[in-house]
């Protein structure tokens, strides 16, 4: 059957001159697989002309070895047994290309991730490698020359998320002359960084370094900023994405609102009644509001959940009166949609903080003087709800404050990862709390982790400032006073692991250094953009070291904390890297797509139309005159579902042809 479907197969097999290259990968492979015996075994397989093993096939000498053999031994098929094809298949395809044979005459065998790293028995691993190499040798003989498809790249770019990473990426792209769409779901850009007071370790004020960038985004001629908007669908492929963006109704007409905020002053609510999201619910806002004074864009929003007009329709509408002849308020506004075309996408959707209520023993939500770190950021912020005054609920300054590290980090019951930023921001908060209130500050830490430029020095500085550090896990916070001196205080019970005993520490105020978590809807976003998440829910990069901002979907890049916990400098660096990667793609003007498309053997197609509805991309049509199916190669993404579904076997897929796969299936267990 397979041979019949591919009459050239037998001929290919005759003419094939195969070179087999087994990589040691140092000891990564050679430690578990007897590579020498595999190479010797492969040398005896039909069609194999050369078979070698080498320390590092991917190195320059390794590549040169293949190139030289191709010339010297007139090889026309190559099998490389090394790491995952997702890592080095492109590398070795380029080798074939340079040596003057078609790049697709290569078959890659994964003997590192799939063999040596997952097995311990050397004999079994070697046997498995032999099987895989044999199947590859059989398969590669049938490979046909293929050409990658060239498609043009739309130079426009979409950036999703308007935190510091998204802002930096958008500005970098725009400065490079590209047209940028920046989509942010909140009414303003700025993200978490806009909430912070100071940044570690330099203690420069977050707003001073962020707001100029926010303003640049808002006024940049090449950035189309869409706040209060979300991406709802993504179609297309690298270089040619079609994206639909939903604009949620602000009930304020963007172009007419000048940000004078007179409507806010005029609202029938004299005081706010709704918890202010930006201030972590520590203050109240009115139904018509600006998220914070430096918000970009400076356009107010009306919250229909809180506004009387939306609830009863009987409001005096003093806001409309105040807006006057600007007529910017529109209670009938509906959500609208924009369809845009972009070539590349940068995702910078950020993180959320750990919900401290998940540790009931810490009493967050029960004891009013237990705060999260983000709440303290707002309370010590000059533009925060208290104007930067850090006081207890009774108005007095705290005499003593505890900062508990690793809340929702490094814990097998919640999140196993280290959130990376908490040690440093806890030190920063310790410094600020001490500076503002003069309180005694206790840090309860598991391990201090302060790698980074100037970070350890900052830790040293705090030690000199007289901040206390207790190594150990706080296991309970209560208001139970065991001694008169503990009356009215929160008592922390902690295992001091350096002292080797349990301490009781009474304090006035507790700060929980909450960790970072993937956004609640990270899974939905991942599906939308067709990328993957790692086990913990962070977006998965193409390679943890060598492709940290690329994803497995070409043309989609990730930046900032959506990929994993990161501080501001790292997020900015990644955003710059993502922008550079997108720019490299755009400036190449065209991109090569894998040629794995399907095509129809017209002679054999009986016109049954089974394949037509199978294609999710509408790439298959039925040509009525010929009574045959036809594949539109531009639309085909190369999944091969139609090939498997065709009852007469008259569809083929490049590089995954039936004959090639059958050869592999039969090869893996055909102990020669």
Backbone angles phi, psi at 245, to 5 degrees: -115, 130
Return the number of the residue (265 or 534) whose C-beta is nearest other proteins: 534
Distance, in Å, from the CA atom of 384 to the CA atom of 647, rounded to the nearest integer, reads 68
Return the number of the residue (272 or 595) whose C-beta is nearest other proteins: 595
Return the number of the residue (58 or 668) whose C-beta is nearest other proteins: 668
Footprint on residues 557-616 left by other proteins (CB under 8 A): 596, 614, 616
User: Per-residue x/- marks for other proteins, 617-646, CB under 8 A?
Assistant: x-------------------xxxxx-xxx-
- Beta-carbon contacts of 565 under 8 Å, excluding residues fewer than 6 positions away, are 351, 417, 418, 419, 420, 421, 515, 516
Return the number of the residue (106 or 300) whose C-beta is nearest other proteins: 106
Distance, in Å, from the CA atom of 83 to the CA atom of 18, rounded to the nearest integer, reads 19
Footprint on residues 410-439 left by other proteins (CB under 8 A): none
Alpha helices (runs of H) in 380-421, residue ranges in sequence order:
none
Interface residue with other proteins, options 65, 132, 432, 507 (CB under 8 A): 132
* Residues 374 and 195: beta-carbon distance below 8 Å: yes
Return the number of the residue (513 or 597) whose C-beta is nearest other proteins: 597
Nearest to 68 by CA among 56, 83, 78: 78
Q: Choose the binding region for other proteins from 36-44, 129-137, 158-166, 186-194 (rule: CB under 8 A).
A: 129-137
Helix (H, G, I), strand (E, B) or coil at 314: coil
Return the number of the residue (61 or 645) whose C-beta is nearest other proteins: 645
Q: Does 114 engage in binding with other proteins (CB under 8 A)?
A: yes
Residue position matching structure tokens 């270089």: 239
Return the number of the residue (206 or 561) whose C-beta is nearest other proteins: 561
Interface residue with other proteins, options 68, 530, 590, 648 (CB under 8 A): 530
* Residues 189 and 182: beta-carbon distance below 8 Å: yes
Interface residue with other proteins, options 270, 387, 535, 603 (CB under 8 A): 535
Task: Round to the nearest angstrom and report the end-to-end CA distance of the chain.
Answer: 22
Q: Does 117 engage in binding with other proteins (CB under 8 A)?
A: yes
Return the number of the residue (439 or 636) whose C-beta is nearest other proteins: 636
Q: Is 50 exposed, middle or buried (0-12, 13-18, 19+ CB in 10 A)?
A: buried
Nearest to 243 by CA among 182, 189, 188, 296: 182
Q: Does 552 engage in binding with other proteins (CB under 8 A)?
A: yes
Distance, in Å, from the CA atom of 541 to the CA atom of 90, rounded to the nearest integer, reads 17
Return the number of the residue (68 or 648) whose C-beta is nearest other proteins: 648
Interface residue with other proteins, options 532, 590, 632, 648 (CB under 8 A): 532
For residue 116, the minimal CB distance to other proteins (Å) is 8
Residues in contact with other proteins, counted by CB under 8 A, come to a total of 56
For residue 128, the minimal CB distance to other proteins (Å) is 5
Residue 372 forms beta bridges with which residues? 512
Helix (H) or strand (E) holding 94: helix 85-98
Return the number of the residue (466 or 616) whose C-beta is nearest other proteins: 616
Return the number of the residue (573 or 665) whose C-beta is nearest other proteins: 665
Q: Does 3 engage in binding with other proteins (CB under 8 A)?
A: no
Footprint on residues 50-109 left by other proteins (CB under 8 A): 84-86
Distance, in Å, from the CA atom of 359 to the CA atom of 404, rounded to the nearest integer, reads 12
For residue 34, the minimal CB distance to other proteins (Å) is 14
For residue 149, the minimal CB distance to other proteins (Å) is 15
CA distances, 427 to each of 58, 351, 436 (Å): 45, 21, 14
- Beta-carbon contacts of 240 under 8 Å, excluding residues fewer than 6 positions away, are 151, 152, 153, 154, 341, 343
Interface residue with other proteins, options 482, 534, 584, 588 (CB under 8 A): 534
Residue 236 forms beta bridges with which residues? 241
User: Per-residue x/- marks for other proteins, 490-529, CB under 8 A?
Assistant: -------------------------------------x--
Q: Is 421 exposed, middle or buried (0-12, 13-18, 19+ CB in 10 A)?
A: buried
Q: Choose the binding region for other proteins from 98-106, 413-421, 565-573, 661-669 (rule: CB under 8 A).
A: 661-669
Tokens of 281: 């619910």
For residue 181, the minimal CB distance to other proteins (Å) is 24
Other CB atoms within 10 Å distance of the CB of residue 611: 24
Return the number of the residue (331 or 656) whose C-beta is nearest other proteins: 656
Distance, in Å, from the CA atom of 575 to the CA atom of 569, rounded to the nearest integer, reads 10
Q: Does 30 engage in binding with other proteins (CB under 8 A)?
A: no
Q: Does 485 engage in binding with other proteins (CB under 8 A)?
A: no
Q: Does 221 engage in binding with other proteins (CB under 8 A)?
A: no
* Three-class HEC string of 473-493: CEEEEECCCCCHHHCCCEEEE
Interface residue with other proteins, options 11, 72, 97, 121 (CB under 8 A): 121
Return the number of the residue (329 or 531) whose C-beta is nearest other proteins: 531
Q: Does 140 engage in binding with other proteins (CB under 8 A)?
A: no
Distance, in Å, from the CA atom of 475 to the CA atom of 473, rounded to the nearest integer, reads 6
Beta strands in 96-171 (DSSP E): 106-110, 149-152, 157-160
Binding site for other proteins (CB under 8 A): 1, 84-86, 110, 112-115, 117-121, 124-125, 127-128, 131-132, 135, 527, 530, 532-536, 540, 544, 552-553, 596, 614, 616-617, 637-641, 643-645, 653, 656, 658, 661-662, 664-666, 668-671
């Amino acid at each position: 059957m397979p041979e019949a479907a591919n009459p050239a197969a037998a001929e290919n097999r005759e003419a094939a001159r195969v070179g087999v290259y087994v990589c040691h990968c140092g000891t990564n492979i050679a430690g578990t697989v007897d590579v020498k015996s595999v190479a010797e075994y492969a040398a005896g397989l039909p069609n194999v002309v050369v078979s070698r093993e080498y320390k590092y096939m991917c190195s320059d000498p390794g590549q040169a070895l293949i190139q030289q053999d191709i010339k010297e031994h007139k090889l026309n098929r190559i099998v490389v047994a090394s790491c995952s094809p997702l890592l080095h298949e492109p590398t070795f395809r380029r080798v074939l290309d340079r040596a003057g044979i078609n790049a697709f005459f290569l078959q890659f065998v994964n003997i590192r991730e799939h063999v040596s790293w997952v097995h311990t028995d050397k004999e079994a691993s070697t046997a498995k490698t032999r099987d895989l190499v044999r199947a590859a040798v059989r398969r590669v003989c049938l490979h046909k020359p293929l050409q990658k498809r060239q498609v043009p790249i739309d130079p426009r770019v979409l950036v999703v998320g308007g935190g510091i990473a998204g802002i930096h990426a958008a500005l970098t792209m725009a400065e490079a002359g590209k047209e940028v769409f920046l989509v942010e779901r909140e009414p303003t850009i700025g993200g978490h960084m806009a909430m912070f007071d100071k940044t570690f370790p330099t203690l420069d004020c977050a707003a001073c370094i962020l707001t100029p960038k926010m303003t640049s985004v808002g006024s940049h001629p090449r950035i189309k900023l869409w706040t209060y908007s979300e991406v709802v669908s993504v179609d297309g492929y690298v270089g040619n994405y079609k994206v639909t963006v939903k604009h949620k109704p602000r009930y304020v007409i963007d172009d007419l609102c000048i940000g004078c905020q007179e409507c806010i002053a005029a609202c029938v609510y004299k005081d706010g009644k709704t918890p202010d999201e930006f201030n972590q619910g520590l203050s109240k806002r009115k139904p018509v509001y600006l998220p914070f004074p430096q918000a970009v864009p400076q356009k107010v929003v009306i919250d229909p959940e809180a506004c009387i007009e939306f609830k009863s329709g009987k409001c005096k509408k003093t806001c409309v009166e105040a807006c006057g002849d600007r007529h910017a308020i529109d209670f009938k506004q509906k959500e609208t949609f924009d369809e845009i075309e972009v070539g590349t996408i940068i995702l910078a959707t950020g993180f959320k903080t750990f919900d401290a209520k998940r540790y009931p023993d810490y009493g967050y939500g029960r004891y009013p003087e237990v705060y999260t770190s983000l709440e303290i950021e707002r309370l010590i912020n000059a533009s925060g709800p208290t104007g930067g005054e850090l006081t207890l609920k009774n108005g007095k300054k705290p005499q003593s404050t505890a900062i508990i590290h690793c809340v929702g980090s490094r814990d097998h019951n919640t999140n196993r990862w280290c959130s990376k930023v908490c040690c440093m921001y806890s030190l920063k908060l310790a410094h600020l709390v001490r500076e503002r209130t003069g309180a005694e500050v206790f840090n309860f830490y598991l391990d201090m982790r302060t790698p980074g430029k100037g970070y350890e020095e900052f830790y040293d500085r705090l030690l000199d400032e007289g901040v206390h550090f207790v190594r150990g896990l706080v296991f309970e916070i209560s208001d139970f006073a065991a001694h008169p001196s503990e009356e009215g205080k929160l008592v922390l019970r902690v295992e001091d692991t350096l002292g080797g005993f349990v301490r009781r520490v009474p304090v006035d105020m507790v700060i929980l250094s909450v960790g970072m978590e993937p956004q609640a809807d990270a899974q939905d976003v991942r599906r939308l953009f067709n990328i993957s998440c790692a086990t913990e829910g962070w977006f998965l990069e193409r390679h943890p070291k060598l492709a940290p901002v690329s994803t497995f979907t070409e043309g989609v890049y990730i930046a900032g904390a959506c990929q994993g916990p990161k501080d501001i400098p790292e997020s900015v660096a990644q955003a710059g890297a993502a922008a550079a990667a997108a720019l490299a793609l755009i400036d190449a003007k065209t991109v090569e797509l894998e040629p794995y498309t399907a095509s129809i053997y017209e002679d054999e197609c009986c016109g049954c139309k089974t394949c037509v509805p199978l294609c999710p991309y509408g790439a298959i049509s039925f040509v009525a005159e010929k009574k045959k199916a036809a594949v539109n190669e531009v639309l085909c993404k190369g999944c091969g579902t139609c090939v498997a579904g065709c009852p007469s076997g008259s569809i083929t897929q490049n590089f995954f042809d039936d004959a090639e796969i059958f050869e592999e299936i039969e090869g893996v267990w055909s102990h020669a």
